[in-house]
Amino acid sequence: MALPTSAKPLRADAERTVRTILEAAERLLSVNPGATMEQIAEAAGVARTTVHRRFASREALITALAAWATQRFYEAVDSARPETSPPAVALYQVTANVLRVKIGWAFAMDALPADAPEIARVHAEVLSRCGDLFERARDAGLLRPDTDLEWARGVYYALIHEAASQAPDTDAAVDTLATRVIDTLLHGVGA
C-alpha cells in the first residue's frame, strides 16, 4: 500500500531526486534538528532551488519526510507477512524490519504530524495487524492463553523503542537487538 498523494506521480529521475533529498534530510536533521533547507540541499548534493521546488517550506519537507518514513514503516510490517508467516517467524521479522526503519528514519519517525490523517490511518492499520499477529502468537502457544494482548503489545512497543534508541549501525547488530526484543517479550528477564 502506498500513501496516496494529491500530486501526479513523479518521473523516475524526479523521484530519485526527492528520495535523495529526503535521505539527506534524515541524516542531517538526526544530527542537527535545526538544519536549514540550504544545509539539506548541500547534504543532498542538489541546488537549493531544487529543494525549494520540491518542498515549499521546511515544514512541507518534514511532513514529506514523515510520510516517507511511514511508508517504510508500513512496508517493514507488510514484508514480514504477519498474516501468513508462522507467528514466531513473523514476530521476529516484523521486529527486525521495524527496528531498521526506526533506526534509519529516527528523526522522521519522531516528527510524525499529529494532524496528518493518512499517516494516522497507516499507523492504525499497522497496529491492527500487530494485534492480529499477537492473537496468532497466543493461539500458537508463544504467549500464555491468558495473556492480556493489549498489555503485551504495549510492552513489545516499549522494547522496540528501547532497542531502537541504542541505534546500532550494522544489520547484524539490528538482528541481535531483534532477537533480544523477542526473547525478552517471550521469556522476560528473570532467572
> pLDDT at position 106, please?
86
Q: How confident is the model over 49-62, as pLDDT tens digits?
A: 999 999 999 989 99
- What grid cell was written down for 126? 499497522
Per-residue cell: 15: 523521484
pLDDT band at 4 (very low <50, low <70, confident <90, very high): very low
pLDDT of res. 7: 52
**The pLDDT value given to residue 40:** 95
Ordered domains of the chain (ranges, CATH): 9-55 (1.10.10), 65-187 (1.10.357)
The pTM score is 0.82
Segment 106-118 shows an average pLDDT of 80
**Residue 1 confidence (pLDDT):** 45
143 with 79: CB under 8 angstroms? no
Q: Does position 3 have pLDDT exceeding 60, yes or no? A: no
Q: In angstroms, what CA-CA distances link 57 with 40, 49, 183?
A: 12, 12, 44
How buried is residue 111: exposed, middle or buried, by Cβ count under 10 Å (0-12/13-18/19+)?
A: middle
In this prediction, residue 6 carries a pLDDT of 44
More confident residue, 1 or 156: 156
- C-alpha to C-alpha distance for 167 and 112, rounded to whole angstroms: 19
Q: Mean pLDDT across the stretch 179-183?
A: 96
Residues in the chain: 191
Query: Can you tell me the distance from the alpha carbon of 147 to that of 166, in angstroms, rounded to the nearest whole number?
Result: 28
Please say if the pLDDT value at position 15 is more than 90. Answer: no
Confidence category of residue 10, pLDDT binned at 50, 70, 90: low
Q: Find out whether 46 and 20 touch, Cβ atoms under 8 Å.
A: yes
Query: Can you tell me the distance from the alpha carbon of 186 to that of 152, in angstroms, rounded to the nearest whole number?
Result: 10
Q: Which residue, 87, 88, 96, is CA-closest to 177?
A: 96
Average pLDDT, the chain: 89
Examine the pLDDT at 169 and tell me if it is beyond 90.
no
